């Protein structure tokens, strides 16, 4: 894509009230636009990053048999009333009616999408009747809305945010737990592929379940969570539930446990039968007996993941995107060079995802913008380098390579 055609431009400064570094860099780079506290629009560059992250998640969820769908975002009151969650603080409620409908119509009768256990449990009642209909899993990548009191962390805590939520349905607790482990492994792949080391962390059951759950925690000083994590084997427990004391030994390998701040990028819950009971979701087992379906739920904060990547991968000049989620893999900068368009065509022929800075601007400005945007490979075309010669540099590296056009294309496509 030609940068002259991109409708966004980088900015020297972020919105004044933006305190989170992830949001500052993403705003300045033209990835996101802050509409209000905790509410962001994703601009073309940010959209490309999100699509990369979503596709990684999709591939891994499909690999464990997840079926993608999109559920309703406007939920009639009966759903949360059935599970006893209508009065949960963070739920945004909607009044269905106008001032002319009289007082009764002024009571909220809907809520907007904050999570979907109730919705999917009710949908499943239509398709599950026998043990032969189980197991299955379904997921969506959808916008969630929560009235978060502290929405100051940019993409880490939105009032509107993108979540991948998957739900699984089983005939037994044992079958659920086997699947739970498989999803845990798939989650690890997702975070690895995004360039993140996420610790599989024992966590509290919360309101969903009586049994333990697991969170995926990325160590970061800006995280709101605290975990105890083993230096040696990576075993981790959320400090909220951990019985380990400072200086305690790791229960699995005897290594030293450290306390760290962390960001929860995902979690997995064995739900049990709470939502099945609330919606009468039952199946007939092999002996002809009716039983409640056993459910699991699995979340990933998609936009939080994007913010986490920026928190972990940046320097004083801007973002350093891991290649797997970068908006483009290559940033081609033309410095008064007519030959640059040859390089652009050659890169495109090799299917390299390239942003072509074809604008008339100083070299200094182009370099600074390129560092801020953080595309992994920078290729410079300049008359100073001689005809058909380009400079190739990786974002974050000091030294550039000088290569002939074909070599440069080959180099970038093989890295």
**What is the nearest approach in angstroms of ligand ATP to the Cβ of residue 265?**
5
Neighbours of 390 (CB within 10 A): 29
Residue 196 binds ligand ATP, judged by CB under 6 A:
no
Residue 146 binds ligand ATP, judged by CB under 6 A:
yes
Contacts of 332 (CB under 8 A, 6+ apart): 340, 343, 344, 347, 354, 355, 356, 357, 379, 380, 381
Residue 140 binds ligand ATP, judged by CB under 6 A:
no
Near ligand ATP in 256-275, by CB under 6 A: 264-267
Q: Which stretch binds ligand ATP (CB under 6 A): 39-47, 50-58, 156-164, 168-176?
A: 156-164
**Rg of the chain, C-alpha, whole Å:** 25
Nearer to ligand ATP, 148 or 342 (CB): 148
What CA–CA distance (Å, rounded) separates 233 from 411? 36
- The number of residues that bind ligand ATP (CB under 6 A) is 15
Options 52, 304, 378, 395; binder of ligand ATP; rule CB under 6 A: 304
**What is the nearest approach in angstroms of ligand ATP to the Cβ of residue 407?**
42
- Ordered DSSP codes for 143-181: EEE---S---SGGGS-SEEEEEEEEEEESSHHHHHHHHH
Nearer to ligand ATP, 209 or 267 (CB): 267
Q: Please state whether beta strands 236-238 and 199-203 pair in parallel, antiparallel, or not at all (unpaired).
A: parallel
Q: Could you give the angle at the alpha carbon of 386 between the alpha carbons of 383 and 388, nearest 5°?
A: 100
Nearer to ligand ATP, 135 or 301 (CB): 301
Nearer to ligand ATP, 64 or 268 (CB): 268
Residue 158 binds ligand ATP, judged by CB under 6 A:
yes
Sheet holding 108-112, edge to edge: 74-76, 108-112, 93-95
Options 272, 299, 318, 327; binder of ligand ATP; rule CB under 6 A: 299
Residue 157 binds ligand ATP, judged by CB under 6 A:
yes
Tell me the residue nearest to ligand ATP as measured from the CB. Answer: 301
354 exposure class (CB count in 10 Å sphere: 0-12, 13-18, 19+): buried
Neighbours of 151 (CB within 10 A): 19
The mark string for 89-128 relative to ligand ATP (x by CB under 6 A, - otherwise) is --------------------------x-------------
DSSP state of 106: G
Residues in contact with ligand ATP by the rule CB under 6 A: 115, 146, 148, 157-158, 161, 163, 264-267, 299, 301, 303-304
């Amino acid at each position: 894509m030609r940068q002259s055609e991109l409708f966004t431009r980088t900015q020297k400064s972020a919105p004044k009230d933006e305190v989170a570094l992830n949001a500052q860099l993403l705003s300045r780079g033209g990835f996101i636009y802050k509409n209000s506290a905790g509410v962001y629009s994703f601009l073309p560059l940010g959209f490309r990053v999100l699509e990369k992250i979503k596709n990684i998640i999709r591939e891994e969820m499909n690999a464990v048999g997840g079926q993608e769908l999109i559920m309703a975002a406007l939920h009639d009151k009966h759903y949360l009333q059935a599970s006893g969650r209508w009065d949960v603080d963070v739920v945004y409620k909607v009044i269905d009616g106008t001032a002319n409908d009289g007082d009764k119509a002024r009571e909220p009768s809907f809520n907007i999408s904050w999570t979907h256990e109730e919705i999917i449990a009710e949908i499943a009642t239509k398709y599950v009747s026998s043990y032969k209909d189980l197991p299955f899993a379904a997921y969506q990548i959808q916008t969630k809305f929560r009235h978060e009191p502290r929405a100051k962390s940019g993409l880490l805590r939105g009032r509107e945010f993108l979540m991948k939520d998957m739900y699984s349905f089983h005939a037994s607790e044992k079958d659920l737990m086997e699947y739970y482990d498989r999803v845990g492994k798939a989650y690890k792949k997702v975070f690895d592929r995004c360039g993140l080391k996420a610790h599989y962390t024992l966590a509290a059951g919360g309101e969903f379940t009586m049994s333990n759950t697991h969170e995926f925690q990325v160590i970061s000083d800006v995280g709101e969570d605290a975990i105890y994590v083993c230096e040696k084997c990576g075993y981790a427990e959320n400090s909220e539930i951990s019985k380990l004391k400072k200086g305690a030994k790791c229960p699995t390998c005897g290594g030293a446990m450290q306390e760290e701040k962390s960001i929860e990028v995902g979690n997995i819950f064995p739900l049990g039968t709470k939502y099945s009971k609330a919606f009468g979701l039952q199946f007939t087992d092999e002996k002809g007996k009716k039983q409640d379906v056993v459910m699991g739920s699995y979340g990933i904060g998609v936009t939080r993941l994007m913010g986490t990547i920026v928190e972990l991968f940046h320097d004083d000049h801007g973002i350093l995107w891991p290649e797997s989620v970068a908006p483009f893999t290559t940033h081609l900068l033309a410095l008064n060079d007519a030959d640059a368009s040859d390089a652009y065509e050659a890169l495109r022929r090799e299917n390299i995802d390239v942003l072509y800075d074809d604008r008339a601007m100083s070299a200094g400005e182009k370099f600074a913008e390129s560092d801020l945007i953080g595309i992994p490979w920078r290729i410079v075309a300049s008359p100073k380098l001689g005809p058909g010669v380009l400079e190739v540099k990786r974002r974050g590296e000091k030294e550039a390579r000088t290569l002939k056009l074909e070599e440069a294309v080959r180099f970038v496509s093989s890295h």
